[in-house]
Amino acid sequence: MDSDARDLWDALPDGVVVADGSGVILLVNATARRMLGDQAAPGARLADALTLQDQDAGDWFAQVRPYDGIGTRSGVPEQSWLLPDGTEVLVTTRLERSGPNVPVERVALVLRSGRGRARLDRERSDLVATVAHELRSPLTGVKGFVTTLLSKWERLNDDQKKLMLRTVATDSERLSRLITELLDVARIDTGRLPLYPREMDAMATIERVVASVRASTSRSITIVAPGGTAAVFADPDKLVQVLTNLVDNAVRHGEGPVTVTVDDGPLGTRFTVDDQGSGIPEALRARVFTKFWKHGTRGGSGLGMYIVNGLVRVHGGELRIQDAPGGGARIVVDWPAADRRN
């Protein structure tokens, strides 16, 4: 092999080992040499060079038996193996034959560090722990009050019973919202979010959303609509979900009055929600759209803006965070007036 070809193999981030039909190594790139040691070299026996073991100290060559087995076997899917120092590597094996039921002519292995999978496992564990924590909080309240009602029903007066039942209802609604959010996240991630969009004027939707949020706050919420219309191509339910989340966030996390501006935009209609809070630092704005991101001490699951961004983008729109003129946060949503879905 010339030096140029060797340099290309050595540039690969994964280890590569290739052996001929007799079990003699033909090629070992630099990454594989770092993993396996100096004994892995061209001319060495594959059985001697692959110092990989499973969790039960079984040897890779003896366990996989690459040159034996049924005559139609073409490879071994990715498996976890351990290097002599205990480091995990993920090994994929390809067995080359000129036809079925003929001897293996070449064995090619790819060795990949297991750190990436370990990191993914940790992220999944963190996700499970976060979801469990979010679910446990309201569930603990429901369980506690129901247990009290069942064990002390005769000793509680009607007002006490109503208070406990109202708390159970509130916590149950919170659980329902969280489960709905988790389902939305899964559907957005997998591209399976059901959409039923149509052309519509969203002004009635905006007015209904603002009226709903106003009912639960003393803060001033103003709608400014210079054009008087809001032509959008949207799933009405998803548009309500987006606008409700944005206005509710401005009320909960901001200070002073909230302004919702509806005007023409480059894609069709631009929705702008301004508050007068502390705003969101520019360095943190990209994190707002990640799962379970929270800023400040106010409550919430940390999924709202991730879902909002996903809903806007699945409609072909754009969302960004800016500074509001009053010093708080400004959320700008450019929503298309026509179908821009991919």
pTM: predicted TM-score of the whole model, two decimal places: 0.60
How big is the chain, counted in residues?
342
What pLDDT is recorded for position 126? Answer: 66
Angle at the Cα of 110 (from 106 to 116), degrees rounded to 5?
170
> With DSSP H G I counted as helix, E B as strand and the rest as coil, what are the percentages for the chain, rounded to 5?
45, 25, 35
What pLDDT is recorded for position 202? Answer: 93
Are 163 and 220 in the same domain?
no
The CATH code of the domain that includes 96 is 3.30.450.20
User: Does residue 214 lie within any of the structural domains?
Assistant: yes
pLDDT tens over the chain, length 342 residues: 667 778 888 899 899 999 999 999 999 999 999 999 989 999 999 999 998 988 788 899 999 999 998 888 899 998 888 888 888 888 999 999 998 889 999 999 999 887 766 666 666 666 677 677 778 878 888 999 999 999 999 999 999 999 999 989 988 888 887 888 888 888 888 888 888 999 999 999 999 999 999 988 888 999 999 888 889 999 999 999 999 999 998 888 877 899 999 999 999 999 999 998 788 888 788 888 887 776 655 556 678 888 999 999 999 999 999 998 878 899 999 999 998 876
Are 208 and 322 in the same domain?
yes
Are 88 and 139 in the same domain?
no
Are 159 and 131 in the same domain?
yes
Cβ neighbour number for residue 64 with a 10 Å cutoff? 21
User: Does residue 327 lie within any of the structural domains?
Assistant: yes
| Integer Cα distance of 76 and 259 in angstroms | 60
Contacting residues for 58 by C-beta, under 8 A, at least 6 apart: none
Are 179 and 266 in the same domain?
no
Last residue of a domain, one of 146, 171, 190: 190
* CA-based R_g, the chain, Å: 30
Domains contained in the chain, number: 3
Are 324 and 202 in the same domain?
yes
The CATH code of the domain that includes 153 is 1.10.287.130
Are 206 and 329 in the same domain?
yes
Are 99 and 35 in the same domain?
yes
User: Does residue 289 lie within any of the structural domains?
Assistant: yes
Are 146 and 225 in the same domain?
no
Q: Domain containing 290: what range?
A: 198-336
User: Does residue 342 lie within any of the structural domains?
Assistant: no
Last residue of a domain, one of 48, 83, 113: 113
Cβ neighbour number for residue 83 with a 10 Å cutoff? 16
| Integer Cα distance of 99 and 97 in angstroms | 5
Are 24 and 65 in the same domain?
yes
Are 202 and 314 in the same domain?
yes
Amino acid at 156: L
Are 106 and 122 in the same domain?
no
Last residue of a domain, one of 167, 190, 213: 190
What pLDDT is recorded for position 118? Answer: 60
Backbone angles phi, psi at 28, to 5 degrees: -140, 120
What pLDDT is recorded for position 23? Answer: 94
User: Does residue 296 lie within any of the structural domains?
Assistant: yes
